[in-house]
Chain A
Amino acid sequence: MDFVSNWILTAIIFMPIVGAAYVWFGSGSRVSQVRSNAMIGSMLTLLLVICAAGMHSQGQGETVDGYGLYHTSGWMADGDNRIDVNYTLGIDGVSVWLLLLTGLLCPLAIWASFSSITNRAKEYYCLLLLLESGMLGVFCSLDLLLFYVFFEFTLIPLFFLIGTWGGQERARAATKFFLFTVAGSVLTFAGVLYLAFHQYSYGDTGVFSLNIPTLVRYGQSGLIPAGVQWWIFLGLVAGFAVKVPLFPVHTWLPLAHTEAPTAGSVLLAGVLLKLGTYGFIRLALPILPEGAEAFAHFMAVMAIAGVIYGALAAWVQEDVKKLVAYSSVSHMGFCVLGMFSLKMAGMTGSVMYMVNHGLSTAALFLVVGMIYERYHTRDMNKLGGLARQMPVMAVFLIIFTLSSIGLPGLNGFIGEMLVLIGTAASTETHDGLIAGPLGMAYAVPAATGIVLGAIYMLWMCRRILFGPVLEPPGTPDTSAGLPPDLSGREIGILAPIAVLCLVIGIWPKPMIDSMQPAIEEHILASRVMEKDINVAHADKAMKGQSVASNTAPASPQADSMEVESKPTEAQRFTGSQLVGSEVRHGS
């Protein structure tokens, strides 16, 4: 079992690559075999992800720094062990849900491509599998370089997916998408390097470390002065904000979504956008608590601007896919808003929102793709009354619309409500965390997003589904063997998502139960109020006036193994325990 738990994350990351290799070399020229092989590869990955999630919930395998299924192997090292850049993997209660989301959406995206992709299928499915690999890698990485490599790696397959199998303007869309994200992530890399060198120069490890837990520990020890935190924060945020995408750097998204093939849109909206928010919660917020707090207002304002702006822009679209794309801008604004409340509710809501948005928006793109395959248009002026022609599709579209507009009882509501509670109650301390920066003043404009969300989504439903039947001439096109309404395969794609939407909405407890300890330990550790120790201390440590070293500082010669094997408790990171040692660095 040890062997399995040690290597399962590696297996998850490389399974799609193996699948891609098999698709490339192992399947003949027949499209049907190519796609079934691709499907097998991604299904095996899903199976592994489910196994890993199960093992993680059972607490199997090595747990280091609160990350389960931990694995590390040497990657880059010099003779003196002064470089700690390793192949380190591990998951916690947050990343496990994103892994599951990725693992689920990829086979569905591949399955959805069966009817629409006929030319160069081999390349297409290989790229999809490579993309899956990259995304899974991001959520498993505990090393910043590894994280960054996977983070950037996802661009390459998607660039080709959009650029080759996209719509009319695919070249422009692919280039724009690539340039926007690369420009952002270059700055992120600068931030990463600054952070790592700062740790190397002023930290007590004496090791050039890109190990995320080490950096989090360092960041939370308060050794990074506020001014530096700001710069690093800005650097990290540049890349993540483009990815999210946060207003006003979102303009690549509508174009990329509209031009991408359905599977590309599904994975882009479902998972890739979450890489940005995941970057926030895994790196920017825990490593730079002061930076996060200092920029919280700014980020929240941008997030709310995105919520309202995205919703209004969505409302005036004629292209369904563009409408859904702008709705993503609006929804991801909610996600960012929640995390910058720096409260348990907001953070939980934010993570829930990532998963829920991943499900509902991916499903919406899938439905739009299914309509497109039949009617060859996404223009709402040319479509109407499809509820009569495609009743089963109508049921699914309405379910996902309702999930998207946060109808209570479906998944969207839980995330939305928690984000709003977290934002509104940011200054309260019911949840045992110190007061956060936001408040009711932020919740009120954000809540208008709920009304606006209903406006544009129902607008879309009404125009596509209701009213007199309106179809472009010569459609529905059934020449590709598609029935007028959804086929069994298409129902099989949408049904699992619909069921999950309902289950998460009614019974989100398992998700919340596994998420909240991880959030408390890994993201908001510096904000936990200690019941028995004076709150003021924690507050003071937070403000960075009393800066201290960690318990039992590691010697400069300590190799990476020693760092990992230290016992860790949640309290280890809390501000209160950091009080009372000498000031090593100030500015």
Chain B
Amino acid sequence: MNESLLTNLSILILLLPAAGALCAGALGPRHLKGNSHWPVVFGVGGAAIASYILLFQVAGAGEESSVLIELYQWFTAGGGSWFNVELLIDPLTAVMLAVVTGISTLVVIYSKEYMRHHDQPERGYERFFAFLGLFVFSMCILVLGGNFLLLYLGWEAVGLCSYLLIGFYYQKPSAAAAAKKAFLVNRIGDFGFGLGILLIYITFGCLDYATVFEAARLGMDHNVEALATLMSIDAIQASELAMTISSRLPIIALLLLCGAVGKSAQLPLYVWLPDAMEGPSPVSALIHAATMVTAGIYMMVRCGVIFASSDAVMMFIAILGAATAIFAATIALVQTDMKRILAYSTISQLGYMFLGVGCFAAGSAVFHLMTHAFFKALLFLGAGSVMHAMGGIIDVRRFGGLKRILPVTYLTMLIGSAALAGFPLLAGFWSKDEIVHAAFNQHVLLGVVGLVTAVLTAFYTFRMMFLAFWGEERVPEGVSAHESGKWILVPLGILAIGAIFSGYFGVHVHGGGFLGFLEPHGALHHFLEPVTAPFAAHAHEAHAAEIGHGFFAAIAHHWLMYLSALLSILGILVAYVWYVQRPWLPQVVRATFPKAHFVLLHKYFVDEFYDTVFVSPLRRLGRFCYQADVFLIDGIVWFITVIPRMFGQSWRTLQTGALQGYGLGMAAGLALIIVLVMMTT
């Protein structure tokens, strides 16, 4: 590969959005004002162009598709080795960069119109674009970083941008609270993530990907000689190190997983993501659907050696993913806020990606990440377009039948919904199917959960669509609804194209039966193979163990695709019957199962649970600490000071100030001394 070109490209990818953000932030308030989007459009767009050139470079490189670029030395823990600021470029990075910068560009363009009302820029317009630019910069660091510290840097920085953008309407108390919640819940996950990084340092003595992964691989294989050479230690130490590595890798994996669970909003740390919808819709589309929340999946795939080393950990990830997928999907069934439905859907889809990783199908997880980025960004931006037209109202109970008022939005969102629902031949169909396939290989139950969730997904997605766009035409009072302008519609159109066709990166043409001529594991998977190799190595073992379940394997291979296509259509049909043909049916169901509906509507009371079990006691402890300061510690100090004071008090009565008293004392003392002297001599 052309290394200097890659170096320049990657630096450009980092600097362009940062420069755009800086420009918008510094010049925006005084000079650019309503034009503050331009530096960010150019910065992020330039980064996107550079990312695609980089992607083609990496794709054209064949075997040697990984390059490490050291920029400068950052800091050190002593002993001569530094933590560098270094960039790693490999297929995974290239794909992630393409997705991130591509979607970002569309979102930035979209925001140009969205963040205005009646062509007047909203308050904080330049701030919004500066934060968006900063976000793209941070996300690029996250995926480009060549060691765990840069990963952590990007990880925290995207969290910060998320915080700032969720709290964009900071005067709304709910937005301010949501922003804080997002940051804090993420920090809880990052607590584990940080400890994982510490444990990696303790175990390996360094934090760069190359050495850590190589040492982990050698340690797991117990390849003592190679390990000794790699770490420049002697054989005995290397043997010990190998033992340490194999015993610690599962712990490291679990700690890193904490971070992924927080960032990718999985059980039990998903609670911040629905609240994060307080941010403007473009932010929800970009950060809370397409890019930042997928950082957890990126990290797990990146650290494949660490995660795939333990079957138990992988199984745990798979179960966690499956549980989150179905859990969030059930909540989405009853929500009425369009963006919240999509938020729970995002949690659910991220659960699918976790399931994919946990079932050793890392390539499929990244594939789903990519397709999901297209159709979910599309749906959020579409929801934003609806919100824009409805004057900021997003509750599907308050409007309906919008398909004639917002034809383009409707059409593009329909495509996005169909892709999300796994409608045959659209993007989501291919990627979700692969994950369900892998889940069946791992365990039947996981696969069944995947299929059930697919039905639920199709149902709630089309419930939302039917409620918003079909039926009687209704708009909130005082709103003159109108279709959005081209700055909004063009990005929607491009994303809709992506939602239809992006699935074909992951399939390849094959001579076979109906639908079978398109087989999974296409170009994208081959491209990612150097990165996903650790998963593949273990997946073969898993497959070998699964031979006994020949029946399911056979179903999975040939029939799963038809089955999931059917289930998806079934979900859509049910939604059609319930919400278009017989709109009274949902009422009946709600009346039949009032408790279930109540629990779902209140999202299983998880927020309330956390508040009672964690937040309140901690705050009480804080109050106790402060009281202890005031009363206990200062009390002890006061007590200590009392002793000399009492001493003084008890003697001060002698200092009466009366001369005769002192005279008497003097005389008595003198007499005493004289007596003593006389007695001794």
> Which A residues are within 8 Å of any B CB, using their own CB?
179-180, 248, 250-251, 254, 309, 312-317, 343-345, 348, 385, 387-388, 391, 398, 402, 407-409, 413-414, 417-418, 420-422, 424-425, 428, 430-433, 440, 443-444, 447-448, 450-451, 454-455, 458-459, 462, 465-469, 507-509, 512, 516
Contacts and interface: CB of A to CB of B under 8 A. Distances in A.
A462 B625 CA distance: 23
Most chain A CB inside 10 Å of its own CB: which residue of B72, B81, B171, B634? B171
B77 A454 contact: no
Contacts of B619: 315-316
Contacts of A250: 629
Given A388-B171, A467-B170, A431 B78 contact: yes
Contacts of A417: 75, 149
A317 B187 contact: no
Contact of B77 (A407, A408, A422): A422
**A-B complex: 9 closest residue pairs judged by Cβ atoms:** A344-B78, A431-B78, A345-B77, A466-B176, A408-B153, A431-B79, A312-B622, A466-B170, A430-B205
* Interface magnitude class on chain B: 35 or more
Contacts of A420: 194, 198
Interface stretch (B177-185, B494-502, B599-607): B177-185
A313 to B, nearest CB: 4
Interface in B190-215: 190-191, 194-195, 198-199, 201-202, 205
B183 A458 contact: yes
B622 A316 contact: yes
25 contacts: A251-B630, A251-B634, A313-B625, A316-B619, A316-B625, A343-B78, A408-B149, A408-B157, A421-B201, A422-B77, A424-B195, A424-B201, A430-B205, A432-B80, A440-B199, A447-B194, A447-B198, A451-B190, A465-B170, A466-B173, A466-B176, A467-B176, A468-B173, A508-B75, A512-B76
A252 to B, nearest CB: 9
A443 B188 CA distance: 15
Nearest to A316: B622
Interface string B147-160: 00100110111001
B626 interface: yes
Nearest to A248: B633
Given A432-B79, A433-B78, A317 B626 contact: yes
B247 interface: no
Given A313-B626, A421-B198, A428-B202, A407 B78 contact: no
Contact of B198 (A254, A391, A425, A455): A425
A63 B321 CA distance: 62
B545 interface: no
Nearest to B615: A455
Contacts of A391: 29
A467 B78 contact: no
Q: Is the interface of B mostly helix, strand, loop or mixed?
A: helix
Contact of B160 (A402, A421, A447): A402
Interface in B4-21: none
A516 B190 CA distance: 29
A356 to B, nearest CB: 12
B236 interface: no
B171 A251 contact: no
B159 to A, nearest CB: 9
A97 to B, nearest CB: 14
A463 B199 CA distance: 36
Given A409-B153, A468-B173, A348 B78 contact: yes
Contacts of A507: 72, 74
Q: Is the interface of A mostly helix, strand, loop or mixed?
A: helix
Nearest to A508: B75
A140 B164 CA distance: 43
A451 B77 contact: no
A509 B180 contact: no
Interface string B84-118: 00000000000000000000000000000000000
Nearest to B141: A409
A387 B167 CA distance: 11
B637 interface: yes
A251 B180 contact: no
Contacts of B81: 430
Nearest to B624: A312
A512 B75 contact: yes
Contacts of B149: 408, 417
Interface in B29-83: 29, 72-81
A316 B626 contact: yes
A430 B79 contact: yes
B618 interface: yes
Contacts of B160: 402, 407
A424 B202 contact: yes
Most chain B CB inside 10 Å of its own CB: which residue of A316, A388, A507? A316
A447 B191 contact: yes
B645 interface: no
A457 B74 CA distance: 27
B170 to A, nearest CB: 4
Interface in B462-492: none
B397 interface: no
Most chain B CB inside 10 Å of its own CB: which residue of A315, A421, A451? A421
B156 A444 contact: no
Contacts of B445: none
A424 B180 contact: no
A430 B77 contact: yes
